[in-house]
Each structure stands twice: as structure tokens, then as C-alpha cells.
Amino acid sequence: MPIEDSSFKKLQGIVGHTHCSRKKEDLVCYAYDATGHAYMPDAVLFPQNTNEVSRILKTANEDRFFVIPRGSGSGMTGGSLAVNGGVVLVMTRFSRIHHIDKDNLIAHVEPGLVTGSFHRAVEKEGLFYPPDPSSSEFSTLGGNLAECAGGPRALKYGVTRDYVLGVEAVIPTGEIITTGTQTTKGVVGYDLTRLLIGSEGTLGVITRMTLRLLPLPEAIRTMSAVFAQVETAAETVSEIIRRSIIPRTIEFMDNASIRCVENHLKIGLPTEADALLIIEVDGKPPDIDMTIEELKTICISRGANRVDVARSQEEVERLWKARKSISPALFQYGPDKLSEDIVVPRSKIPDMVRMINRLKVETGLMMVSFGHAGDGNIHFNIMLDKKNKGALKKANAALETLFDYTLELGGTISGEHGIGITKTPYMAKEIGPVELMLMKKIKKAFDPNGILNPGKIFKNGFEI
């Protein structure tokens, strides 16, 4: 549904001429996300307040054009792409912190705020917002809510949905809704807040949110453990959890990710290692020092070659820089990336690692694994040139095997990146027909004309 001139004029009237564009050079900047897929939108809009979003969606319903919400475009599954054309609604002007309420440990904020800026703002007040996707320096809170972002600290603190008490959103018909509470408890009616979180911008445009905060932990200790065999590292992760120790992060890098980051940054990573774990604990100093000692003992007894506790903030930053640079550094291995984020029960990580090793040998493809091992969440990547049709066919077959095995182990095909467009072919592997039909009915109830973010989540649309 391309946008008519008359509709575009109405949009100019709503947001003002300087906050909308149909110029090719502007559109191209909003045609991409982190998948590398590209779809040119028909127009791009930068609304500033809820009333403008409401009027835009009402116009879209009357004139029948598509609207695609967008934060920073760092999504890994194509959620913010205009796959069927339409208007991209860039939410970055919604960047205000309305109030950090220290008495009630909550904050009222807008969705275009970059997550890392919010972290720093609450930390200045001695408070803590745990969700920290590795993209936190550029992704927005709105994108985090729409994807239910996770990140390294999810192991101890949970994911984005655990910190959202309520939202203001504009549903596709243009009505403004307020969901949830400002209190830590609340059970009145269906939980529309949770329905919107993780809905990938298909049920409503989030325009404001009430987030739950925690007191800032007193201290943090960070350590790394180097393993000669990836299986041993995986077994160590399972052992730590089995012993009921819950660090705030257990991040994992395989040999291919260690080598590509080292090649990229030259920061002295152990390129000969088969796996590296980055483990972090937080809390009160005497307790966390004891936990670190316990973790060192477990790592060494399970076969780590080397364990180092970071002695300075620079050492901590070096480790996190290495971890957070993996995604961009990977492109040394190939121009295209098939990027998955499967999750398996933590006791099954060693089985999954063995399966990945088998796939590497059988296909001969460049496969790289890293991620939030403490959650059982492995970011599995196949680097290739998609023009090589033989390699692409092999890669797609490997993904089928990987997803089937993930589900066999009791896991899920996406821990935090969502379905978007890239995982639609696999939805029905995990979600049964009745559940899928209920989801489509929900979409239809919110969006009877199908104008908001079409082509996402459901492979063949949401018609029942």
C-alpha cells in the first residue's frame, strides 16, 4: 500500500514539514536494520508526542497505508523494516525522562531514549535498571520493550518484561491506551502490558513507560576463564548453576569469536583458547569475594587453563569491549550473516555445543557461537556469502537441524531477538495451531485493517 500524495500532505500537517520526508537520501537511512536486509519505505516521520502518533495512525486507517515503528534500527530480525512499503515512524524524538521516583523505585520515561543513557541517569541517583542488551549504547527503550530485550545481566535479573509496570501506547486504530500500574502489584483485568512487550511493534506504538528500578549493587567483581575445549566450558556453566550460584552474567565466546575480536581490536585475547567465559557477580564485598573464590575453584576443577579476576576498571572494560564487539567483528568472516538466538535449558548447553560442533564438521561452513551462556541463550551465527547458493542451501538446512534439536532439548528458537521477518518460517515449529490462531485473533482485535507493521511474526499474514 504505497502512500498517496494526499495522505503525505496530511502527515506533513500533523508532524510539520521538517519532521517528515520522502527524499531518497532520507529514506535509505531508514531502510536497514542489523539484519542487513533492506526495504525502502515510502516516507519517514519523526513524531514528537502521543497526540501526533494517534493522528498518524488514524490517518493510516482512513487512507489505508502501513506504519512501521522504529527505534534505533538495531533489531536482529527485521522488525523495523518496511517490507511492504509504508511510513517508518522513527521514535527517537521521544527521548525524555519525565521522572525518576526514588521514593517508589520507578521511572517514567519515553521510548526513544537510548538504554545506556537511561542506565547512567538512574545510576547517578544510586539506582539500577538491570536490562542491558549488548546494544545498550545505541538501542532504544522502546525497541527493547517491543522485542523484550535480554542481555548479559538477564541471568540474575531477568529480562525487560520484568521491569515494565505499565505503558502508554497508541493502538493501530489511533486510540491512546494506558496499561498496567505504577505499583509493584496489580491484577485488574488481562495483562495488556505483557501483551505489548515482545509484540514487535505489531499491536501498538509505545509512547511512554513506567519502569521498575532496583538499588544499585554495592560492588561488582569480574573474572574470565579460558578453556582448551568448548565442551568443558559448557559443562562448567551447567555446574555453576547446579551448585545454585547465580552470577549476574556468564558470557561465552567460542574460538572463532575470540579470534575475530582479537584481530579487530588487538587487546590480547587468548586466540589459542577454544572458549572464554566472562563471569560477573555483584552484591556486598565480602559475599562477592567469597563467590568469586568459589567460581574460580569450579572453573579450575572443571578444566579451565587459566582464571583471571579483573584488578582494575580498565581490565573490566577490556573484557566487555571484547564481548560487545563480536557482532560487528564477525563480518571479517563473510559478507552475510545468518544470526540466531536459540535458548536451551542450562543443563543442556553441553549437548547443544556438541551439536554445533557436529554441524561445523558436516557442513564445512564458518559457524560462530557466543552469548549469554548462563541463560542457555546461544547466539549462533553462520557467516557466508549469500550469493553462493550452495552454501546458503547448506546453511538453511543446518538451521532446520539446529531449531529441531533446540526444541527437542526443551528450548526455544528465540530468546531475545524476536521473530520479525527472518524467523517467520520457523514459528510453527514451536507454536501450535491453536495458539497461533489465538495470536492472530489478538492481532486482528488490535489492528482490524492490518496497518501496523505488516509482514512480521506471521508468515502468511494474520488472516485466520
Ligand X SMILES: Cc1cc2nc3c(=O)[nH]c(=O)nc-3n(C[C@H](O)[C@H](O)[C@H](O)COP(=O)(O)OP(=O)(O)OC[C@H]3O[C@@H](n4cnc5c(N)ncnc54)[C@H](O)[C@@H]3O)c2cc1C
| Chain contacts with ligand X (rule: CB under 6 A) | 33-34, 68-76, 79-80, 91, 111, 133-135, 139-140, 142-144, 146-147, 149-151, 200-201, 205-206, 327, 416-417, 453
> Closer to ligand X at the Cβ: 113 or 355?
113
> Closer to ligand X at the Cβ: 71 or 270?
71
> Closer to ligand X at the Cβ: 193 or 232?
193
> Closer to ligand X at the Cβ: 195 or 309?
195
67 and 87 in contact (C-beta within 8 Å)?
Answer: yes
Residue with cell 530480525: 77
Position 83, amino acid: V
CA torsion 395-396-401-407 (nearest 10°) is 120
257 and 326 in contact (C-beta within 8 Å)?
Answer: yes
The Cα 306–Cα 289 span in angstroms is 18
DSSP at 328: H
Strand partners, 337: 383
Minimum separation from the CB atom of position 189 to ligand X (A): 21
The Cα 55–Cα 77 span in angstroms is 28
**How long is the chain?**
464
Minimum separation from the CB atom of position 287 to ligand X (A): 27
Minimum separation from the CB atom of position 145 to ligand X (A): 7
> Closer to ligand X at the Cβ: 206 or 384?
206
Minimum separation from the CB atom of position 115 to ligand X (A): 8
Which among 334, 346, 349, 430 is positioned nearest to 386, based on CA atoms?
334
> Closer to ligand X at the Cβ: 21 or 135?
135
> Closer to ligand X at the Cβ: 71 or 130?
71
179 and 196 in contact (C-beta within 8 Å)?
Answer: yes
Minimum separation from the CB atom of position 94 to ligand X (A): 7
Minimum separation from the CB atom of position 74 to ligand X (A): 3
Minimum separation from the CB atom of position 154 to ligand X (A): 8
95 and 112 in contact (C-beta within 8 Å)?
Answer: yes
Phi, psi (degrees; rounded to nearest 5) at 249: -145, 145
